[in-house]
Chain A
Amino acid sequence: MRKKGSVYHLVRIAVMTALLEAAKFALNSIANVELITLLLMTYTKVFGWKDSLKAALLFAAIETLWWGVSIWTITYFYIWPLLILLEHLLRNCQSRLLHACAAGIFGLLFGLFCSLPTLIMNGWNAAVAWWIAGIPYDLVHGISNFIIDLLLFEPCVKALRRLSASHRTDPETENA
């Protein structure tokens, strides 16, 4: 039985977080196309919501340390947990099309979720204006999320399950 907080467990969360950071940097140059949604949905499907939430919060903390406290780094602390909750609700769903739709809807509503700090700080009118101005980017985000998830969600889940299973057969690594 693997103990919680074992080295294996800690390293796994660290690698999950590092992958999120690497994916963020790798696609930084392509506006509104990202792999964080795919990775977090895959993590939640394979490892469950608790570890995924830890990785997501660590990722948000690293982004805040790197870029400083700003509106978009604050949004990361609730927006990615929201995605994990969505994927957790879909945990028994086998349809890849449904997962792709969930990723697409998340991308389409990304700007709406991100407008929450503007709503609190600048009021309703500013938040609505800010959200509407970003809709073209949300459309790109939603469509790209849908396509990426449709093509890569299942292969990523299978690959991660295979990797995870191969580590479980190596008892020497536990509590090393």
Chain B
Amino acid sequence: MRNKKTQAVLIGTILLALLLGAVYFLNRPRTAEGTKHITVEVTDDHGQTTRYEENTDSQYLAAALEELTKNSSFTMETQDGDYGLYITSVNGLTADFSKDQSYWAVYVNGEYGSYGISEQPVTDKDVYTLAYEK
């Protein structure tokens, strides 16, 4: 009887994991093939915004930003974190959450991004805003 209960809970746990996997799979970020034209905006600690335009074949934002560093004055440093790659420094301005709770936020078409830059798909005509926030 007790074994059956344990078995049922174990099966329930596995089913929950599969269900979560299915929810993610059905709603996962879709990437687009081919060349995309994107805009990258950088808002610094004084609220000054610098705009960059780029044509990229990259499917994810991290690779597109990496390309941008080669084709413009844009510079960026990243680190691996719990939730994938995150930005630590843009154009020489470093954000350190452990020091002063500052961080580089990523907005996609004005909306706060749900994904890290290594998982954020790049779509044609998207505007990505990297904003220094505290």
Mark A residues whose CB is within 8 Å of B.
Answer: 31-32, 67-68, 70, 95, 97-98, 101, 104-105, 108-109, 122, 126, 129-130, 132-139, 142-143, 146
A-B contacts, 5 listed (Cβ < 8 Å): A67-B98, A98-B5, A98-B9, A101-B9, A139-B17
Considering the chains assembled together, what is the distance between the CA atoms of A105 and B19 in angstroms?
Answer: 12
Smallest CB gap from B28: residue in A: A132
Considering the chains assembled together, what is the distance between the CA atoms of A137 and B10 in angstroms?
Answer: 20
State the majority secondary structure of interface residues on B.
helix
**In angstroms, how far is the closest chain B Cβ from the Cβ of A35?**
15
Considering the chains assembled together, what is the distance between the CA atoms of A133 and B28 in angstroms?
Answer: 8
Do residues B6 and A31 form an inter-chain contact, with CB atoms below 8 A? no
Do residues B20 and A138 form an inter-chain contact, with CB atoms below 8 A? yes
Q: B11-26 toward A: CB 8 Å interface, digit per residue (1/0)?
A: 0110011001101100
Smallest CB gap from A30: residue in B: B82
Q: B96-123 toward A: CB 8 Å interface, digit per residue (1/0)?
A: 0110010000000000101100010000
Considering the chains assembled together, what is the distance between the CA atoms of A31 and B83 in angstroms?
Answer: 7
Considering the chains assembled together, what is the distance between the CA atoms of A67 and B119 in angstroms?
Answer: 25
Considering the chains assembled together, what is the distance between the CA atoms of A101 and B10 in angstroms?
Answer: 6
Q: Using Cβ atoms and an 8 Å threshold, which residues of chain A touch B21?
A: 135, 139
Do residues A146 and B13 form an inter-chain contact, with CB atoms below 8 A? yes
Considering the chains assembled together, what is the distance between the CA atoms of A129 and B29 in angstroms?
Answer: 10
Do residues B16 and A130 form an inter-chain contact, with CB atoms below 8 A? no
Q: Is there a chain A Cβ closer than 8 Å to B2's Cβ?
A: yes
Q: Using Cβ atoms and an 8 Å threshold, which residues of chain B touch A101?
A: 6, 9-10, 12-13
Considering the chains assembled together, what is the distance between the CA atoms of A65 and B9 in angstroms?
Answer: 38
Smallest CB gap from A94: residue in B: B2
Contact of A105 among B5, B6, B16, B24 (CB under 8 A): B16
Q: Using Cβ atoms and an 8 Å threshold, which residues of chain B touch A98?
A: 5-6, 9
Contact of A143 among B9, B17, B83, B115 (CB under 8 A): B17
User: Assuming the A-B contacts A32-B82, A105-B13, are A97 and B6 also in contact, with contact meaning beta carbons closer than 8 angstroms in the complex?
Assistant: yes
Considering the chains assembled together, what is the distance between the CA atoms of A109 and B16 in angstroms?
Answer: 9
Q: Using Cβ atoms and an 8 Å threshold, which residues of chain B touch A67?
A: 97-98, 101
Smallest CB gap from B22: residue in A: A135
Do residues B82 and A31 form an inter-chain contact, with CB atoms below 8 A? yes
Do residues B9 and A135 form an inter-chain contact, with CB atoms below 8 A? no
Considering the chains assembled together, what is the distance between the CA atoms of A104 and B12 in angstroms?
Answer: 11
Q: Is there a chain A Cβ closer than 8 Å to B27's Cβ?
A: yes
Do residues B13 and A68 form an inter-chain contact, with CB atoms below 8 A? no
Q: Using Cβ atoms and an 8 Å threshold, which residues of chain B touch A109?
A: 16
**In angstroms, how far is the closest chain A Cβ from the Cβ of B12?**
8
Do residues A142 and B6 form an inter-chain contact, with CB atoms below 8 A? no
Q: Using Cβ atoms and an 8 Å threshold, which residues of chain B touch A105?
A: 12-13, 16
Q: Using Cβ atoms and an 8 Å threshold, which residues of chain A touch B29?
A: 133
Do residues B20 and A139 form an inter-chain contact, with CB atoms below 8 A? yes
